Structure 1
Amino acid sequence: MSEQGNGTGKTEDNTVFIGRKDTMDYVTAVVTQFKAGSDEVIIRARGKAISRAVDVAEIVRHRFIREAVVKDVRIGTEAMVSDQGESTNVSSIEIVLAR
């Protein structure tokens, strides 16, 4: 999963990658995507950021865009290679919000 973007956790399409920033930064990115006309926004996270992704989705749904629904949730495992060359598995999640 390539995490290229503009530094805000948002890419040029309708995907928001969750990282270490404050939860509300990602909520703002998702709401901005919806306000720009997207019918769906995908929230992606790996590892420890998974719980933050769930928080973002719930805050968007309950506080900002009440008509948004969780259309799909996909979970998986990604093989990653560490700096030392060791392979490790990292859990991942994709939450698709739609309105």
Structure 2
Amino acid sequence: MAEEKATTEEGTVFVGNKPPMSYVLAVVTQFNSGSKEVSIKARGRAISRAVDTAEIVKNKFVPNAKVKEIKIGTETLTNEEGRTTNVSSIEIILTTA
């Protein structure tokens, strides 16, 4: 259901089943490499980990980071049996500009 990737697109962190600090490290690395904006994406049960990641980054590691935008939505997934399910998704955009 949730992806295990840390980063694929430049400036985007996909949150999955790992502990939040794994994703915090990925976000802080993006900011340290010169990115002014980092997007944290998650869906399903990983949404709470994405929120934790954003709050830890803001409060402990990048004090000048601010939440620019939060997008929420629903994605429709089809499983192997052909049944469709709706999964909630979130995108949190942090910026230092």
TM-score by length of 1: 0.91
Give 5+ residue unaligned stretches, structure 1.
none
1:21 to 6, 14, 18: 18
Name the SS for the 1:94 alignment partner.
strand
TM-score by length of 2: 0.93
**Matched positions, count:** 94
Is 1:11 the counterpart of 2:11? The answer is no
Give 5+ residue unaligned stretches, structure 2.
none
Name the SS for the 2:56 alignment partner.
helix
Code of the residue aligned with 2:93 in structure 1: it is V
> Is the contact made by 1:27 and 1:59 (CA closer than 8 Å) also made in structure 2?
yes
Q: Take 1:46 and 1:37, find their aligned partners in 2: how far apart are those partners?
A: 27
Q: Take 2:72 and 2:59, find their aligned partners in 1: how far apart are those partners?
A: 23
Detail structure 1 runs of 4+ shifted over 2 Å in the superposition.
Answer: none
User: Taking every aligned residue pair, what percent have the same amino acid on both sides?
Assistant: 57
Q: Take 2:36 and 2:7, find their aligned partners in 1: how far apart are those partners?
A: 16
> Is the contact made by 1:8 and 1:29 (CA closer than 8 Å) also made in structure 2?
no
CA RMSD of aligned residues (A): 1.2
Partner residue, 1:34: 31
> Is the contact made by 2:5 and 2:16 (CA closer than 8 Å) also made in structure 1?
no
